[in-house]
Amino acid sequence: MEPVILTTERLFLRPFEAPDAAAVYAACQEPDIPRWTGIPSPYSLQDAELFTGTTSPEAWRTDTSYSFAVLSRADGSLIGSMGLVRLDLLRTPERQAELGYWTAGEHRGKGYTVEAALAVVRWAFDDLGVERMEWLAEAGNEGSRAVARKVGFRMEGTLRAKLVQEGTRRDVWIGSLLPSDLPRAPGPTGVPVPAPDTTPYLPYPD
């Protein structure tokens, strides 16, 4: 995948670059980020340098994950990370991806994460052809679940003992988002543009 840049009213999203290491390191000292994500703990500057300079660029090249640095358009500060992970089903008939994110502590509660998430999922649906977006988080991560719900994800339940963390199995919440769950942007005539053709969906009647 060639590098992609997305913009919103307040945000600028681009692939991580090596100079982002110091800001990533500073953000990831906030305890909630290593608590609820898979990053190393404690998180060192060397970890940040490896992620921004090697791991993230290589993941873009190999189509294994697409991580965006979420930056403020006002001052260029790093607000967080937003991306698509576990892309092994992206180019299969399943056309599936998973959304993952973290937000620096001082930038929470301002709607930035929802704004960035909507930009990324629209890009995934419209440009990548994703037909099912998943969100997973360790059960108890109320902040992540609140963001997912505001984006439009429907909660589907709890996966028991899905996650192994620090030698202990933990439950995971799961939700999904389909292209049809998002309102379409108006076209030139003011009428919403229909969603692109996708694999037909036959939901099981409740």
**For position 199, what pLDDT does the model report?**
87
pLDDT digits (tens, 9 = 90+) for 123-181: 999 999 999 999 999 999 999 999 999 999 999 999 999 999 888 999 999 999 999 99
Its pTM stands at: 0.91
- Distance, in Å, from the CA atom of 194 to the CA atom of 180, rounded to the nearest integer, reads 9
